[in-house]
Homo-oligomer: A and B are copies of this chain.
Amino acid sequence: MNDQPIGICDSGIGGLTVAKEIIKSLPNENIIYLGDTARVPYGVRNKETITKFAFELVKFLLLKNVKAIVVACNTISATCLPELQKISPVPIIGVIKPTVSAVVNNLKTKTIGVIGTRATVNSNSYELEIKKLNNQIIIFSQACPLLVPLAEEGLISHPATKIIVKEYLQYFQDKKIDTLILGCTHYPILMTTIQEVIGENINIVDPAKPTALRLIKVLETNNLLGNNSRHWY
């Protein structure tokens, strides 16, 4: 039993989709959510800048005496997660490995599409992690840089959003994917438009739930589960 808080960080407010799932799964934990709204978005920046910002986020959370950290940001998870884990005295989990495990365990999955920020897609992280678990699976990835500002502006099912989503997802048209991973925490906000464009037959995967489930396992394994009343900082 451990009453220290869990730290969740993201480039902005997108990671609240992950935080929501964690709070639902772990109602007795204290949560510190750190969203870098002063420097969002991260996905358009270079590796050096993203890594610098990510270290600052983790160091801030460590000063708050957290017992574990969830990097609820695909861009950071794809860019420098091992480096963060190296300097941290507490467990750090990202969103990519938990999501990939959940997807690969679904035996129906043969061909996966991944959409994300430019940094996430250029890192090839989803492809590398999937291939580690099952190198028979085929992966196609597409960067969708405009979806973050469209989601932030609330243009959820706006005609312009539909045109842009259609253009991005057109890449998958002849790829016969059965699964589409939303490799950015902002994208679940546009779920309706994405599902409409990609079609009802494609299984869309939101990293929030697998990440929350992985956190529970990590807390259990390290004997870190808490029993607090819930506080928001």
In the bound assembly, the distance between CA atoms of A62 and B107 in angstroms comes to: 61
In contact, A163 and B153 (Cβ under 8 angstroms): no
In the bound assembly, the distance between CA atoms of A144 and B38 in angstroms comes to: 19
What 0/1 readout, one digit per residue, does chain A (39-59) give for beta carbons within 8 Å of chain B? 100001100010000000000
Extra A-B contacts (6), CB below 8 Å, given A145-B149, A160-B160, A160-B167: A38-B39, A145-B153, A149-B149, A159-B163, A160-B164, A163-B163
Contact for A49 among B38, B152, B164, CB less than 8 A = B38
Contact for A146 among B37, B149, B159, CB less than 8 A = B149
Within the complex, what minimum Cβ distance (angstroms) separates A82 from chain B? 22
Q: State which residues 10-41 of A face B: CB under 8 Å.
A: 37-39
With CB as the reference atom, state the residue of chain B lying closest to A39.
Answer: B39
In the bound assembly, the distance between CA atoms of A39 and B45 in angstroms comes to: 9
A92 at the interface (CB under 8 A from B): no
**Which among A44, A45, A149 has the greatest number of chain B C-beta atoms within 10 A?**
A149
A119 at the interface (CB under 8 A from B): no
What are 19 A-B contacts with C-beta separation under 8 Å?
A37-B45, A38-B39, A38-B45, A38-B49, A39-B39, A44-B152, A145-B153, A146-B149, A146-B150, A146-B153, A146-B155, A149-B149, A159-B163, A160-B160, A160-B161, A160-B163, A160-B164, A160-B167, A163-B163
With CB as the reference atom, state the residue of chain B lying closest to A49.
Answer: B38
A167 CB contacts on chain B under 8 angstroms: 160
What 0/1 readout, one digit per residue, does chain A (127-159) give for beta carbons within 8 Å of chain B? 000000000000000000110011011010001
Within the complex, what minimum Cβ distance (angstroms) separates A228 from chain B? 31
A161 CB contacts on chain B under 8 angstroms: 160
In the bound assembly, the distance between CA atoms of A155 and B37 in angstroms comes to: 25
A155 CB contacts on chain B under 8 angstroms: 146
With CB as the reference atom, state the residue of chain B lying closest to A52.
Answer: B38
In the bound assembly, the distance between CA atoms of A37 and B163 in angstroms comes to: 28
- Among all A-B residue pairs, the 5 with the closest Cβ atoms: A149-B149, A160-B160, A160-B163, A38-B49, A160-B164
